[in-house]
Every structure is written in C-alpha cells, then in structure tokens.
Amino acid sequence: MARIEFEKKVLSENDRLAAAIRKDLSERKIFCINLVSSPGSGKTSLLERSLGVLGKEMALGLIAGDVQTENDADRLKAAGGTMVRPIVTGGACHLDARMVTDALKDMPLERLDLLFIENVGNLVCPSSYDLGEDMKVVVISTTEGDDKPLKYPGMFRRSSLMIVNKIDLLGHSEFQLARVKENARTINGDLETIELSCRTGEGTRRWYDWLRQRVSQKRV
C-alpha cells in the first residue's frame, strides 16, 4: 500500500473556466453579477425592473438559469431584454462555469456594459461554483426567515451585497429588518445591504445607483 500526494482542487476545471470568463469580461470592461437567492425571493422581478430602467442607459446581458423551463428568460425578454440567454440545467441545482461559457458564446460581448447571471434558486449549491463574476449579490425577501444568513453562511460570506426585497410586506410576517441585518453582519461584516420592493419600486433607486457606480468603475 502506498500513500501518494495528489493535490488537486475538486472544482479545478470549473475554476479554470471561471478564471477565463473573468479575464474575458475584464478585458471588455463588462461588470458581471452572479445573482443568487432562494426560489421566490424575486431575482427575476428585480431584473425585469432593472431592465426597464437601466436598459435605456447601458447595454445589459442576461443569463437566466433554471432547472426546468425557459419561463424566466421569456419574462426577461418580454421586459425588453434583447440579450437574454436561457440555461436550462435539466436537474442540476446550480450553474457552473461550463454552462456560462457556453451561454456566452453567442452573446454580443463587444456591446455589453453589464452582465447579470441569474443563478438557480438555491442558497446552498451555487456557493461552491465560481462563474467568473465580479460579485455575488444575494437576494432575500421579507416573506422568508430573517435567520437565512445564519442558515446559509457560505453564500452570505461570499456575497458582496444583500438585497432585501418585498419591503412593502414588512409587518405582515415575523421578518424583522434589523434582525436580518444583524444576522448578516455576524456572518459577513463587509456585506452591504439595500432594501427595496420590486412591486412598488421603493428603494430601487439605490440599487440602480449602486450598479451604475460599479459599471463606471469597471470602465476605468
């Protein structure tokens, strides 16, 4: 019996592809966000609204991942997205860098300013897979438990911004804004927070400004 050293990252192939995506997007000065959340937190609604406002001032690309159906991609196209690419994972609970590489092949990257990757609704599995994004943005909504950051620390640690959606429903559930922020701060003291409602539009301006700022920083 021999014990041999064999050092290899299990996801090294994914990491290699993600690094290639990151390099390509950086050279083209495209700011890229990997949007993650539980199912039903409002990722697609957030993107629909963002398309309507930001789509007028910059070129947005969207990759919409779903386990089954292209419903989200269809919604985003209906909201005015001209550069929307669906990824149907066929059962896989996350997107990986191979899927994103393939989706980017027929995306007109030379025209893009901002690329959104809408991950599969899941706060566990997507956290292991680097997609070559600049930042992960995690969406949580007021109809969920405010202890989600504690339950899914891997994802909240890796995210740069937490969006708290559905603030128009605050008070209709046990969810407390102060508590979710404190829980998030315990896990990740550097996590920024933006509260908004995709339904009423309240708070969305801060989100657009946050994006505009990052897109212009990336251009420099």
Partner 1 sequence: MHELRIAENIVSSVQEEMRRRGSSRLRVIGLRIGELTDIVPESLEFGFNILIADTELAGARLEIERVPVQGHCRDCDCEFEVRDLQFLCPNCGGRSIKTICGQELDICFLEIEESIKGEGKTTEVWPG
186 binds partner 1 (CB under 8 A): yes
Interaction of residue 36 with partner 1, rule CB under 8 A: no
Q: Does 11 bind partner 1 (CB under 8 A)?
A: yes
Q: Which is nearer to partner 1, 58 or 150 (CB)?
A: 150
Q: Reading across the β-sheet that carries 135-141, which strands appear in turn?
A: 84-88, 60-66, 114-118, 31-37, 135-141, 161-165, 192-195
Find the binder of partner 1 among 157, 179, 199, 218 (CB under 8 A): 157
Binding mask 37-76 for partner 1 (x = CB under 8 A): ----------------------------------------
Q: Supply the minimum distance, in Å, between the C-beta of residue 113 and partner 1.
A: 30
The nearest distance, CB 162 to partner 1, in angstroms, is: 14
Q: Is 88 in the site for partner 1 (CB under 8 A)?
A: no
In order, the DSSP letters of 112-174 are -SEEEEE--S-SSGGGG---S-SEEEEEEETTS-TTHHHH-HHHHHH-SEEEEE-GGGTTSSS
Q: Residues in the site for partner 1, rule: CB under 8 A?
A: 1-13, 92-94, 122, 124-125, 127-128, 150, 152-155, 157, 185-190
